[in-house]
Amino acid sequence: MSARPAGPRPLPDAPGPADGVTDVRDPAHLRRAFGAFATGITVVTAGGPAPRGMTANSFTTVSLDPPLVLVCVNREAVMHQVLTEAGHFGVSLLGAGQESVARHFADRSRPAGLGQFTEGTWRPGPVTGAPLLADALAHFECAPWRQYDGGDHTVFLGEVLAMRRRGGRDALLYVDGRFRALAPGRAEAAA
């Protein structure tokens, strides 16, 4: 007679500090736990008379039909108001080696308007005119589709109007509060 494999074991009813459970109301602990999830890095942009860009790692694809992406923006960020009023926006997916661009657009002391587009080579998107980073791995030009309350952030959904994909290098990643790149051979081994 063979032994049946054991099923999942239930978690204890009252986890304590030895279990590594921390208070979710502590923003520092919550940020560290969320930071364990590796993300890609984008620069979200809007054109017009006062163009603006912002580094964002809260970007994801949502739907293929219609083609939708989302980005979450803190309600206190300047970019929040810009996206609320924008007729279009762009997303440039950064590649390995573009850490300086990511840091530049995360720096709150960067100049306003066109002055902030001194880092990297930029061009207007052919469909929307939103500034796009020329050396990015991919570009998405979007029309605002929906907005949703996301607590201290707003979830902006955009319908992709145009896109471009360049190959040849890995994406820039962010995990545990640091920029990272895949180790050579790791991506192929995981596939």
pTM value is: 0.81
Closest CA to 51 of 107, 99, 123: 123
Closest CA to 72 of 81, 82, 61, 59: 59
Q: What is the total count of domains within the chain? A: 1
Q: Which domain holds residue 126?
A: 39-182
Report yes or no on 7 lying in a domain.
Answer: no
Report yes or no on 31 lying in a domain.
Answer: no
Alpha-helical runs (H) found in 78-136: 78-85, 99-106
Report yes or no on 26 lying in a domain.
Answer: no
CATH code for the domain of 121: 2.30.110.10
Report yes or no on 11 lying in a domain.
Answer: no
- Asked if the model's pLDDT at residue 14 lies above 50, the reply is no
Report yes or no on 1 lying in a domain.
Answer: no
Question: What percent of the chain has pLDDT above 90?
Answer: 56
pLDDT level of residue 53 (50, 70, 90 thresholds) = very high
Closest CA to 41 of 62, 17, 20, 57: 57
Report yes or no on 4 lying in a domain.
Answer: no
What are φ and ψ of residue 2, in 5° steps? -95, 150
Report yes or no on 94 lying in a domain.
Answer: yes
Report yes or no on 28 lying in a domain.
Answer: no
- Asked if the model's pLDDT at residue 146 lies above 80, the reply is yes
Mean pLDDT across the chain: 85
Helices and strands (H, E) in the chain, number of each type: 4, 12
